[in-house]
Amino acid sequence: MSLKVALQMDHPASLDYKKDSSFLIGLEAQKRSHELFYYSPLELTLKNGRLSAPCASLQFRRKKDAYFTLGDFKETALTTFNIILMRQDFNNPSLYNTTTHILDHITDQTLVLNDPTGVRESPEKLLITHFPDLTPPTLITRNLSEIRTFQKTHPNLILKPLNGFGGMDIYHIKPNDPNLQAVFEMFCRLHPEPFIVQKYLPEIRKGDKRIVVVEGEPIAAMLRVPQENNARANLAAGGSAIKGEITDRDREICKILKPELVKRGLVFVGLDVIGDYVTEINPKSPTGLQQIYKLQGIKCEEAIWDAYETRYIQRQKASQT
C-alpha cells in the first residue's frame, strides 16, 4: 500500500533532524513507500468549498546539511492526499485552531490526523479535567481570592497559562510566597483566558514522564528531569531526558483514557504524568520520539504508522459499505 501523505508543518528547514519527531514520522512513511509532500499552514486557501495549498514533494534523509529535499511547489487540492498530518508547532494557538476549522471541510474525503475537531476540542490542560480522579487538585480561574482559598488547602502551588507550551510562564509558588500577587497580576496582563493553578507535586524532582500513547495504548516513555532550582522539566526549558518505564499506574490511566482518545480521533498523543497524576494530554504535534529511541531503542514511529494505516484502511472499508 502506497499512500500520498501531506505534512502540514513549519518549513522543513526549521526542523532539527536529530531531535524532531516529525522527521522520524516522515522517514517511517518513506520506509513504507508512502509519497511525502509538504505545505505550510499559512498557505491554506479555502475557495467555494475547495481547500488547496502550494504543495511540494518532500524527501527526508539522515544527512547533515542535506536532510531534506523539496520539489517545486504547485497549488494542489488537499483532497488529493490520502492522509494529512498536522505537525506544525503550537506556538500560535489562534492560528492552529483556525487551521483545524479549515481542515474540517475535507475530513469527509481525506483522513486528517489527529482529527481536527478532536484536537480543537481537546486543549492540553483542559481535556484531562474531565477525569478529575487522574489529575492533581486543580483550579482554573482568574480570581485571586479563589486562588488564596485554594492555597489554604494546597499551600505549594504551580501556576501556568492555559495555552502555554515548552515550559513558558510556569511558576512555583511556595507556602507564604510574597510573589503570588505579582505573578497573578502578570498573568492577567499576559493571558486573556483563565489560567491553571495546581497542587505542586514534589515527584517532579524525579521527572515529568512523557508517555507516547497510540490509539490509547502506551508505547514508550521518557522522564524529563528539571535542573536544580528549576520547577520546569520541559526539555525546551533546560530539562534533561532519561529512560522512563511504563508502570501499572500508567497502564491504568491509559485504560481509562483510551475510549475518549479513540472516539475523538486522537491517534497519537503525548501524556504527561508526574507521580500518579496526569497533568496534560498533548494531541498537537507530540514530541519525544527521537529521545526515546536514543535512550531505549524503541521505534515509536512504527506503532504510529501502523495506527495511521489501520485508520485509513478502516475508513476505506466504511466508505464502501
- Distance between CA atoms of residues 97 and 120, nearest Å: 6
For the question of residue 124 being annotated catalytic, the response is no
For the question of residue 224 being annotated catalytic, the response is yes
CA-closest candidate to residue 131, choices 305, 241, 253, 49: 253
Which residue is catalytic, options 160, 199, 209, 264? 160
Which residue is catalytic, options 125, 209, 264, 284? 125
- Distance between CA atoms of residues 315 and 279, nearest Å: 32
For the question of residue 114 being annotated catalytic, the response is no
- Distance between CA atoms of residues 260 and 263, nearest Å: 5
For the question of residue 209 being annotated catalytic, the response is no
For the question of residue 125 being annotated catalytic, the response is yes
- Distance between CA atoms of residues 156 and 182, nearest Å: 16
Which residue is catalytic, options 199, 210, 264, 284? 210
Three cell numbers written together for 161:
497559562
For the question of residue 160 being annotated catalytic, the response is yes
Q: Residue 263, exposed/middle/buried by CB under 10 A (0-12, 13-18, 19+)? A: exposed
For residue 227, what is the DSSP state? Answer: P
For the question of residue 32 being annotated catalytic, the response is no
- Distance between CA atoms of residues 106 and 119, nearest Å: 15
Which residue is catalytic, options 87, 199, 209, 224? 224
Which residue is catalytic, options 82, 114, 163, 282? 282
- Distance between CA atoms of residues 246 and 257, nearest Å: 15
Three cell numbers written together for 20:
524532531
Q: State how far the alpha carbon of 21 is from the alpha carbons of 25, 131, 179, 224, in Å.
A: 6, 28, 37, 16
Radius of gyration of the chain (CA): 20
Residue 83, amino acid: I
For the question of residue 16 being annotated catalytic, the response is no
Active site residue ranges? 125, 160, 210, 224, 232, 272, 280, 282
